[in-house]
């Protein structure tokens, strides 16, 4: 679509959940060798997560290893285990407004600061009566890319 006022730049993260994050850490950190870059806890979003990557590079895809802060309440970041996929976007406000106008259902909360400090919003995995388009079972996070990442992708595409 030529009228799209934003560009998806690439995959930013894959978020994986479990009731017990130590099992994820044993596999991903202990056996596969991924590095934990930072940890984040949010009682409001019911998540305890380690933000990891295989490279020390802003362009490296993050692997977020997550468990619920409180297993007795939602949202449950461990169900489904592949919690969400994050995509870099160059202009999150344009993406949010344009996709909403096209009927995409967004999760409550709108655009806000995410665990990594970037502005984010989430395409809901299910449609609603007023917004019939969704992630069809997959939660999709749009992550506003920092200027240097936007610049990198622009240079790559001009290459």
CA distance 128 to 104: 9
Domain membership of residue 123 (yes or no) is yes
What domain range includes position 42? 8-158
CA angle 55, 57, 61 (to 5 degrees): 70
User: Is pTM, for the whole model, over 0.75?
Assistant: yes
Domain membership of residue 111 (yes or no) is yes
Q: What single string gives the DSSP state of each residue in 2-30?
A: TT--S-EEEEEEEEEE-S-HHHHHIIIII
CA distance 11 to 86: 6
Query: Domain total for the chain?
Result: 1
Q: Are 36 and 50 in contact, with CB atoms under 8 Å apart?
A: yes
How many beta carbons lie within 10 A of that of residue 126, not counting itself? Answer: 12
Q: What is the pLDDT along the chain (159 residues), one digit of tens a residue?
A: 678 999 999 999 999 999 999 999 999 999 989 999 999 999 999 999 999 999 888 888 999 999 999 999 999 999 989 989 999 999 999 999 999 999 999 999 999 999 889 999 999 999 999 999 999 889 999 999 999 999 988 888 786
């Amino acid at each position: 679509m030529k009228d799209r006022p934003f560009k998806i730049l690439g995959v930013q993260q894959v978020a994986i959940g479990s009731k017990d994050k130590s099992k994820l850490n044993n596999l991903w950190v202990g056996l596969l060798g991924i590095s934990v870059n930072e940890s984040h806890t949010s009682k409001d979003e019911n998540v305890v997560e380690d933000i990891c990557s295989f490279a020390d590079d802003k362009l490296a895809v993050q692997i977020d290893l997550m468990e619920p802060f409180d297993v007795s309440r939602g949202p449950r970041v461990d169900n489904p285990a592949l919690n969400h996929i994050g995509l870099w976007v160059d202009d999150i406000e344009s993406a949010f407004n344009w996709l909403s106008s096209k009927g995409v259902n967004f999760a409550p909360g709108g655009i806000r600061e995410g665990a990594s400090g970037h502005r984010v919003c989430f395409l809901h995995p299910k449609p609603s009566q007023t917004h019939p388009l969704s992630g069809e079972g997959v939660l999709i996070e749009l992550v506003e890319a920092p200027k240097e990442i936007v610049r990198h992708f622009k240079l790559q595409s001009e290459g």
